[in-house]
Amino acid sequence: EPEVTQTPSHQVTQMGQEVILRCVPISNHLYFYWYRQILGQKVEFLVSFYNNEISEKSEIFDDQFSVERPDGSNFTLKIRSTKLEDSAMYFCASRKGGHQPQHFGDGTRLSIL
């Protein structure tokens, strides 16, 4: 069965550095999402993306965050100047469309030092 794949599985970065988290959604899916889970807390919506633009973003998704679909297969989340509080597990998800269920990747654990 097709899967959403995320890389890297674990990223360790110094505070203030930029990070790019990568996701390869399922190939015929049209809607893409990023979610975040701080350790011990619930999973929170960050942003949804459709037709090469952001369709909705949460309050968490401020100016330091950006998303891109650079080449028709990858879907990336960039955090420009990381803060300690950005340490979390980041999940990518994709959906085919037409109210089909979302499929989640295994996540990237981001640790900011």
Partner 1 sequence: ELKVEQNPLFLSMQEGKNYTIYCNYSTTSDRLYWYRQDPGKSLESLFVLLSNGAVKQEGRLMASLDTKARLSTLHITAAVHDLSATYFCAVDTMNRDDKIIFGKGTRLHILP
Query: For residues 103 and 95, is the Cβ–Cβ distance under 8 A?
Result: yes
- Among 7, 11, 13, 45, the residue binding partner 1 under the rule CB under 8 A is 45
> Which residue from 72, 70, 69, 68 is spatially nearest to 28, judged by alpha carbons?
72
- The CB-of-86 to partner 1 minimum distance in angstroms stands at 18
* 91 part of the interface to partner 1, by CB under 8 A: yes
Binding of residue 29 to partner 1 (CB under 8 A): no
Options 17-25, 40-48, 66-74, 75-83: segment touching partner 1 (CB under 8 A): 40-48
The verdict on 13 binding partner 1 (CB under 8 A) reads no
Contact between 31 and partner 1 (CB under 8 A)? yes
To 5 degrees, how large is the angle CA 98–CA 106–CA 84?
110
What are residue 110's DSSP bridge partners?
11, 88
